[in-house]
Amino acid sequence: MAYVATRGGERAIQSAEALYRWLNRQYDPGFVRDLETHLPYLLDRVMGEGSLWAPELAALAVAQTGGDLYEAVLLLRAYRSTQPRIAYAEPIDSGSMLTVRRISAAFKDIPGGQILGPTLDYSHRVLHLQNSAKPDQSLESPENARSGALATIPYVADWHRQTGLMQPLKPDPTPPAEIPDLTRDPLLFPAPRAQRLQALARSDTGGVLALGYANMRGYGGIHPTVNEVRLAYAQVQVKHPVTGAVFSAGRVRYSQAEVVTKFKTGADGKPALELGFAATLGWNEVKLIAASMLDTAMDLPEPHPAHTEEFVLSHTEPVESSGFCIHYKLPHYVTFGSDLDALRKARAQAESNEREGVG
Amino acid sequence: MSTLAELAFSRQDYAYAFLDAFAKRELRRKILKAIAIPGYQVPYASREVPMARGWGTGGLQVTLALVGPKDTVKVIDQGDDDSVNAANLRRFIARMAGVKTTTDALEASLIQSRHRIPEEILRPDQILVLQVPVPEPLSWVEPSYTRARELHADAEYGLAWLGIYEDLVRYRSNTHGADYPVLVNGRYLMAPSPIPRWDTPKLHLAQHLTLLSAGREKRLYAVPPHTEVRPLEFSDVPFAVEDQRGWADAQTGVQNKFMTEIPLEGGQSRYQLSDSDYARKAALRLEIGATYYDDQGTFYIPGFLAERKASVAPSHAEQSLGTD
Amino acid sequence: MKTPSPTPLEARDQAVFLALMWALSRPGEVQKLETGGANGLEAVGLALLDLETSFYTSDPALYQTFLRLGARPEPPDKAAYLFFSPVDEAALDAIAQAPLGTLLHPEQAATLVLAGALGRGPRLRLRGPGIREATLLEAGLLEPFWRLRAERISFPLGWDALVVFSQGECVGIPRSTLVEVI
């Protein structure tokens, strides 16, 4: 009679939530602030998938859900849908952002230079066991750069374009308000490019990694090179509705990745490099490298089924996939009963066939 | 556009019925189109709401777009008003829209349901909102929604017929359980949501308006009143509802309403009415409205369901125990 | 938390929407349209239009009102919502161009909002979804309109009409309705 115990309406719901919260202990505002300070990559992931830049709220969401990231993302998304859209931001040139890391695997050196920036890529992955007992003593101040940062950091892809290896970029004059918006129009396939990039920006890190990795292992049929990975701070600029003056509404962490693959027929009819692109709020390199590879794989003439646009974008949506997955916990006894009826009928039919010696 | 009355209205933490005016208008525009094209899946933006996707967010959005302070709302899950998810949705709707709630199907102006249609015949002024997990009736034969949309465009439903035919060849029996595909207004194949086959005929020429909505898949569709809704069937192998003849509700002894089977130790079963408010009325001997199926299990539209064959149901049907 | 309540405009838009919903659910059956003082066509526009929709109207006052909502004016062959008062010859020329949707996306067909006159004009017999057997209606729209409708509509393609009467009433005639002039 276990099922009856989980029935019982509103009191049961309230008690279940209370028990959950009691087991996770109370958190205080200091903890939420600490999360914001010390777990920026976690919050970046939650904000990227939640498609809302709000570090304080993301920290609160993580605290409130005890670190259940799908729940935290859902909290941000649900909050986001209650917020009115008050303006459209001005387009940002990612070349002139405050870039803290920009690397290219395609060349040894590149215009603007390889900027290693903040990364664990070359650190030894050893647990700092001493830090579990006493405060971290090993923290060194990073060395100051010998020269100031460049105001703009050129794209590697610009070099490809200048040298004719890649098709020129067509300017797109669409005003911001008319760019197709995933949150206002349902995703239909083939998706407008804007919606595809929005879907990848909001996609589930783990889901995109799984499909991207399948692509890397050969299921995509492309062999890309990482042209560029960038981490930056971006100024979000908005036009004042009355004066028309452009002002900064704040700064967000932003990252983007570009991959190139060879031998795509270009506009001039000759083979050319094809660019795959992905960008997101927050710094999330794994997601972007996988997503930018999927971006090109989806454009192949006959992509592997796991790399068709519909397959990739439908199945890497974190709120939809996780929600549907856990919905199987809901009672399904009506549908199951109906299935049992069909099964019993089929079994009875099979028994009578056996008796009559048919089939 | 601001009016004085609007500006003077005190600021609220949330919009009435949670969704902002844009979200509601979009849903309303799409609902009107859905009604104009019975059975056709209209794509919609589908905002995130404070429930997980797959937990009734589609039905909830439609309910929130329709609801007003004068409504009386009933929410059921598997036929049960007291199921936790039904209670949760009801609590949210009441909190955000300030509506009266009820468990009585005949008292409600708006019924949001997961997987059941009440046993009592709904009135012309009532609206039934069905939560839909998988809106695409072709998904069992064509997993790509993009290709399925092309098949709907051409009314090309051969694959669905073939699926049923192959079942018949393989099992000599139609293996479809709930969510039995139906043809609406002779044009669109539609997933009626995972209602049991028992409930499928209730949509045919119904007096009430049915709206179906899948929040995760972002599709909503409608069955207007007095619209033909026919299950896919071969003339020589007619559509059949679940065979529960001989099953009686353990508490009230009621038969010939949809039952839930509850396993008992030792391989036996007892049965319980799935429509919990119908069960409540029956137990308290309250007045019950006209029902889609009478006490003998005969459907209220003569001739719509084929005459049932003698029960092939195995012996478990006789195992109904009259004890709780 | 305090339960939110609808603002006056929200209450009006909800009431108008419900009238339109029942109008299309029960084609030809007259529904009460509570417009809160606005004229009928205007009230329908206020309930349905915003930044995300396009419209066409030859009525300058309506045009200004809808523009203020943020809705996008478009020519009749592109607009999603078309408003006509009166439904004269010029209106019929525009209606003849209104989008019918595509087989992949029949919902992209236009919605027509028309000023009619209840109890006037040719007598119609309506059949189809939403109608138990048949409904009789005189909506004040003349025969050329119905001829045009018969030419343009081929279910599931075709526009849906909402006919608004000056007495604060409306009827819906979706594309699914078979209309006979009798």
CATH of residue C151's domain is: 3.40.50.11310
pLDDT band at B312 (very low <50, low <70, confident <90, very high): low
pLDDT band at B6 (very low <50, low <70, confident <90, very high): low
Residue A267 has pLDDT above 70, yes or no: no
B32: nearest CB among C5, C9, C24: C24
Q: What percent of chain A is predicted at pLDDT more than 70?
A: 94
Residue B292 to residues B207, B224, B301, B302, Cα–Cα distance (Å) = 12, 18, 8, 11
Interface residue A357 vs chain B (CB under 8 A):
no
What is the pLDDT at residue A33?
Answer: 97
Place of tokens 């309705």: C177
Interface of B with A in 85-144 (CB under 8 A): 85, 87-88, 91, 114-116, 133, 144
Among A82-86, A204-208, B87-91, top mean pLDDT goes to A204-208
- Tell me if ipTM is over 0.85: yes
> Which tens digits make up the pLDDT trace of A113-139?
899 999 999 988 989 888 888 877 767
Lowest mean pLDDT among A93-102, A262-271, C120-129, C173-182: A262-271
Across chain B, where does the E strand assignment appear?
A: 42-43, 72-77, 100-101, 110-114, 127-131, 182-184, 188-190, 209-214, 219-223, 229-231, 259-263, 269-273
Residue B323 has pLDDT above 60, yes or no: no
| A-chain residue closest to B145, CA distance | A310
CB contact under 8 A, B28 and C21: yes
Residue B316 has pLDDT above 90, yes or no: no
What is the pLDDT at residue A70?
Answer: 97
Q: What percent of chain C is predicted at pLDDT more than 90?
A: 92
> Which tens digits make up the pLDDT trace of B174-232?
888 999 999 999 999 999 999 999 999 999 999 999 999 999 999 999 999 999 999 99
pLDDT band at B4 (very low <50, low <70, confident <90, very high): low
* Cα angle: C3, vertex B24, A185; to 5 degrees: 135
What is the pLDDT at residue A284?
Answer: 98
pLDDT band at C173 (very low <50, low <70, confident <90, very high): very high
Residue C159: exposure state from Cβ atoms within 10 A (0-12, 13-18, ≥19): buried
Q: Which two tokens stand for residue C116?
A: 């009619």
> Which tens digits make up the pLDDT trace of A286-325?
999 999 999 999 988 888 888 999 999 999 999 999 999 9
Bridge partners (DSSP) of residue C113 are C83, C162
- Tell me the chain B residues in contact with residue A343 when contact means C-beta distances shorter than 8 Å: 175
List chain A domain ranges. Answer: 2-80, 94-117+149-322
Q: Which two tokens stand for residue C108?
A: 């992209």
What is the pLDDT at residue A96?
Answer: 86
Q: Which residues contact B7 (CB under 8 A, 6 or more apart)?
A: none
Lowest mean pLDDT among B83-87, B185-189, C102-106, C117-121: B83-87
Q: Which two tokens stand for residue A282?
A: 């927050």
Q: How far apart are CA C79 and CA A270, in angstroms?
A: 42
Q: What percent of chain B is predicted at pLDDT more than 70?
A: 92
What is the pLDDT at residue C105?
Answer: 97
CB contact under 8 A, B31 and C21: yes
What is the pLDDT at residue A131?
Answer: 83
Residue A4 has pLDDT above 50, yes or no: no
> Which has the closest alpha carbon to B249: B156, B121, B119?
B119
pLDDT band at C54 (very low <50, low <70, confident <90, very high): very high
* Cα angle: B290, vertex B293, B294; to 5 degrees: 70
What is the pLDDT at residue C1?
Answer: 67
Beta strand B127-131 with B229-231 is unpaired
Q: Other C-beta atoms within 10 Å of A64: how many?
A: 17
* B68 CA to centre of own chain: 22
- Tell me the chain A residues in contact with residue B316 when contact means C-beta distances shorter than 8 Å: 344
pLDDT band at B170 (very low <50, low <70, confident <90, very high): confident
Q: How far apart are CA A83 and CA A85, in angstroms?
A: 7
How large is the average pLDDT for residues B312-323? 44
| C-chain residue closest to B17, CA distance | C4
Lowest mean pLDDT among A137-146, A318-327, B71-80, B244-253: A137-146
* C144 CA to centre of own chain: 17
Number of domains in chain C: 1
CB contact under 8 A, B36 and C52: no
What is the pLDDT at residue A167?
Answer: 86
Task: Answer whether residue C79 is part of any domain.
Answer: yes
What is the pLDDT at residue A8?
Answer: 61
Residue B1 has pLDDT above 50, yes or no: no
What is the pLDDT at residue B318?
Answer: 42
Residue B94: exposure state from Cβ atoms within 10 A (0-12, 13-18, ≥19): middle
What is the pLDDT at residue B5?
Answer: 64
Size of interface B-C (CB pairs under 8 A): 137
Residue A217 is classified by DSSP as: I
CB contact under 8 A, B54 and A327: yes
| C-chain residue closest to B153, CA distance | C103
How large is the average pLDDT for residues A97-119? 92
List chain B domain ranges. Answer: 21-225
Interface residue B23 vs chain A (CB under 8 A):
yes
Q: What type of residue sits at position B299?
A: F
How large is the average pLDDT for residues B295-305? 95
How large is the average pLDDT for residues C44-49? 97
pLDDT band at B157 (very low <50, low <70, confident <90, very high): very high
How large is the average pLDDT for residues A236-259? 93
Query: What pTM was computed for the model?
Result: 0.91
Task: Name the CATH superfamily, with its identifier, for domain B21-225.
Answer: Bacterial phosphonate metabolism protein PhnH (3.40.50.11310)
Mean pLDDT across chain B: 92
Interface residue A279 vs chain B (CB under 8 A):
no
Contact between B129 and B110 (Cβ < 8 Å): yes
Place of tokens 């049923």: B164
Report cis status (omega within 30 of 0) of the bond before A173: no
| A-chain residue closest to B91, CA distance | A10
pLDDT band at A352 (very low <50, low <70, confident <90, very high): confident
pLDDT band at A5 (very low <50, low <70, confident <90, very high): very low
Say which residue, A1 or C32, is predicted with more confidence: C32
Contact between A81 and A319 (Cβ < 8 Å): no
Mean pLDDT across chain A: 89
Structure-derived torsion over alpha carbons of residues B189, B194, B199, B202, reported in degrees to the nearest 10: -40
| Helix H or strand E encompassing A347 | helix A333-356
Residue A221 has pLDDT above 80, yes or no: no
What is the pLDDT at residue A211?
Answer: 96
Query: Which of B2, B26, B33, B47 is the best mutation test for C, with the most CBs of C within 10 A?
Result: B33
C174: nearest CB among B14, B35, B97: B35
> Which has the closest alpha carbon to B229: B169, B279, B186, B277?
B186
What is the pLDDT at residue C36?
Answer: 82
Interface residue A6 vs chain B (CB under 8 A):
yes
Task: Answer whether residue C145 is part of any domain.
Answer: yes
What is the pLDDT at residue B315?
Answer: 44
> Which tens digits make up the pLDDT trace of C115-144?
999 999 999 999 999 999 999 999 999 999
CB contact under 8 A, C26 and B224: yes
Domain that holds residue C110: 8-181
Interface residue A343 vs chain B (CB under 8 A):
yes
B45: nearest CB among A6, A183, A347: A183
- Tell me the chain A residues in contact with residue B176 when contact means C-beta distances shorter than 8 Å: 342
pLDDT band at B25 (very low <50, low <70, confident <90, very high): very high
Residue A129 is classified by DSSP as: G
